[in-house]
């Protein structure tokens, strides 16, 4: 299966995808990294892994619409079976979420529907929850709102701040995102309305 990744920054979740492919736990090929940020460290990671890169410098576009037109074209060119948003920090417009409905997933560092949006780990600390975590979900027209594929719980410990919690959640993100991508590539993920069914391993 062909996977394309969208990332905006450090790219550690992108790296987790690459590493899972190398380890054979994710039976796929990463055909492209697309980024909105020419300074993204994810680009360095792509180069190290021999993954082709498309940079669409968001700041060079006069309008969001012009950016999204190029993004849609770049995504279509990938001929990917699955698009993975791995620390991609922009809301994706409906033209794109409609075009790739059911084949675009995102990792969010909270147990959705709690703490959608930015600084999810900070939201969790400030709310005072005792259990945080991460969510892999299909991307729909909303923000962090599509059908949920996997969730992993992470305890909030005494003395945690948003950075220590984010670090602990990130470890689980790096497991959950490749795992969800692998299930999808194995054809074991089925969406029924809001609910997602994970089928047992095939024979
Ligand atoms: C991750 O915590 C991800 O859940 C959130 O932003 C962070 C991106 O980290 N969307 P990285 O770029 O994958 O290292």
Provide the percentage of residues in the chain whose pLDDT is more than 70. Answer: 100
13-32: average pLDDT: 98
**How confident is the prediction for the chain on average, in pLDDT?**
97
Residue 119: predicted pLDDT:
97
Residues 6+ apart with CB under 8 A from 142: none
The Cα 64–Cα 8 span in angstroms is 16
Residues 6+ apart with CB under 8 A from 182: 20, 25, 26, 27, 28
Contact (CB, 8 A) for 33 and 53 = yes
What number is the ipTM of this complex? 0.97
The Cα 112–Cα 150 span in angstroms is 10
132-141: average pLDDT: 97
The Cα 76–Cα 66 span in angstroms is 16
Catalytic residue among 108, 119, 137, 174: 108
**Residue 85, Cα to own-chain centre: how many angstroms?**
3
The protein residue whose alpha carbon is closest to atom 3 in ligand 1 is: 87
Q: Is 174 a catalytic residue?
A: no
- The rounded Å distance from CA 58 to ligand 1 centre is 18
Residue 203: predicted pLDDT:
59
85-109: average pLDDT: 96
Indicate whether 188 pLDDT > 90: yes
pLDDT tens profile 29-87? 999 999 999 999 999 999 999 999 999 999 999 999 999 999 999 999 999 999 999 99
Residue 202: predicted pLDDT:
80
Phi, then psi, of 104 in degrees rounded to 5:
-135, 125
- The rounded Å distance from CA 11 to ligand 1 centre is 7
Mutate to test the pocket of ligand 1, among 12, 14, 34, 166 (most ligand atoms within 8 A of CB): 12
- The rounded Å distance from CA 126 to ligand 1 centre is 20
The protein residue whose alpha carbon is closest to atom 10 in ligand 1 is: 87
Residue corresponding to tokens 């005792």: 130
Which residue from 119, 146, 6 is spatially nearest to 67, judged by alpha carbons? 6
Residue 12: predicted pLDDT:
98
What is the pLDDT confidence band of residue 21, given thresholds at 50, 70 and 90?
A: very high
- The rounded Å distance from CA 186 to ligand 1 centre is 24
pTM over 0.90: yes
Beta strand pairing call for 131-138 and 189-192: unpaired
Residue 15: predicted pLDDT:
98
């Amino acid at each position: 299966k062909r996977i394309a990744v969208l990332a905006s920054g450090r790219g550690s979740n992108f790296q987790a995808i690459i590493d899972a492919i190398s380890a054979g736990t994710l039976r796929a090929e990463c055909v492209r990294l697309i980024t909105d940020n020419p300074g993204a460290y994810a680009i360095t990671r792509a180069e190290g892994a021999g993954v082709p890169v498309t940079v669409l410098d968001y700041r060079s576009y006069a309008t969001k619409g012009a950016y999204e037109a190029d993004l849609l074209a770049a995504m279509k060119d990938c001929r990917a079976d699955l698009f993975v948003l791995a620390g991609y920090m922009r809301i994706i417009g409906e033209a794109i979420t409609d075009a790739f409905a059911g084949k675009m997933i995102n990792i969010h560092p909270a147990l959705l529907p709690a703490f959608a949006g930015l600084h999810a780990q900070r939201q969790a600390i400030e709310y005072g929850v005792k259990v945080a975590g991460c969510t892999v979900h299909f991307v729909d027209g909303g923000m962090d709102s599509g059908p949920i594929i996997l969730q992993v719980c992470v305890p909030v410990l005494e003395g945690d701040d948003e950075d220590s919690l984010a670090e602990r959640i990130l470890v689980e993100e790096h497991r959950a995102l490749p795992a969800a991508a692998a299930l999808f590539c194995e054809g074991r993920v089925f969406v029924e309305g809001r609910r997602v069914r994970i089928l047992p391993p095939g024979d």
